[in-house]
Chain A
Amino acid sequence: KQEVTQIPAALSVPEGENLVLNCSFTDSAIYNLQWFRQDPGKGLTSLLLIQSSQREQTSGRLNASLDKSSGRSTLYIAASQPGDSATYLCAVSAYGNNRLAFGKGNQVVVIP
């Protein structure tokens, strides 16, 4: 059974600092890995999707890396802003995007 762990569970950083969020998974036989953002009481917004054959994906201030063999992914958020405050979820997918296994999330607070 796939287990996904996210560290740290919660962190607070001053505005402008770079954020580094870590995700690890136990079974390296994944189809892809996604990072989502979840605001309190809301659904999920997909941020980045990395296919199993890729090493990283970038979108604006966000960069996600994937090391499938070691079962790790890192989400970097450059020059954090108060609007980045949210919970960030990592999820790995089995073949065909059918079974998503989620971590518990990294709860981020960016202090103005």
Chain B
Amino acid sequence: GAVVSQHPSRVICKSGTSVKIECRSLDFQATTMFWYRQFPKQSLMLMATSNEGSKATYEQGVEKDKFLINHASLTLSTLTVTSAHPEDSSFYICSAKTGDQPQHFGDGTRLSIL
């Protein structure tokens, strides 16, 4: 149980393109979803926390107009990287949880901006 699916697993696109990443909890209702970013050989850095039906809470230094998060249902959250540039290239990972249970992680999305 507690499976989190993230799609797509890999995206390569041109600079200036907007990219949407989906995170779904397949077998549980996620009251809270999290988006992380990971650079090579670095730790996961929390970007934002989203609760279903409300606006996401962004960490300091994360541009909310750049990284749009929508948590429209208890099983789906999306992260849209708007007008992506090469410096946005990274590994993005989502997680989901219900109540005060542990977070369950997706398999991540490798984003490469040319």
What is the interface of chain A, defined by CB distance below 8 A to chain B? 4, 32, 34, 36, 41-46, 49, 89, 91, 93, 95-100, 102-105, 107
How many chain B residues sit at the interface, stated as a range, is 20 to 34
Chain B residues with Cβ below 8 Å from A41 are 91, 108, 110
Q: Does B97 contact A (CB under 8 A)?
A: yes
Within 8 A of A (CB), among B42-69: 42-46, 49
Q: Does B22 contact A (CB under 8 A)?
A: no
A45 to B45 Cα, complex, angstroms:
17
Asked if residues B43 and A104 are in contact (CB atoms below 8 Å), the reply is: yes
Within 8 A of A (CB), among B72-100: 91, 93, 95, 97, 100
Q: Which residue of B lies closest to A96 (CB)?
A: B100
Partner of A89, one of B43, B46, B91: B43
A89 to B106 Cα, complex, angstroms:
15
What is the interface of chain B, defined by CB distance below 8 A to chain A? 6, 32, 34, 41-46, 49, 91, 93, 95, 97, 100-108, 110
What DSSP secondary structure best describes chain B's contact surface?
Answer: strand
Partner of B93, one of A4, A43, A93: A43
Given contacts A44-B93, A44-B105, 15 further A-B contacts (CB under 8 A): A41-B108, A42-B108, A43-B108, A44-B44, A89-B43, A93-B102, A97-B100, A97-B101, A98-B49, A100-B34, A100-B46, A100-B95, A102-B44, A102-B45, A105-B43
A98 to B103 Cα, complex, angstroms:
8
Q: Which residue of B lies closest to A43 (CB)?
A: B107
Chain A residues with Cβ below 8 Å from B101 are 97
Chain B residues with Cβ below 8 Å from A107 are 41
Give chain B nearest CB distance to A55 CB in angstroms.
19
Give chain A nearest CB distance to B36 CB in angstroms.
8
Asked if residues A97 and B106 are in contact (CB atoms below 8 Å), the reply is: no
Give chain B nearest CB distance to A49 CB in angstroms.
6
Give chain B nearest CB distance to A2 CB in angstroms.
11
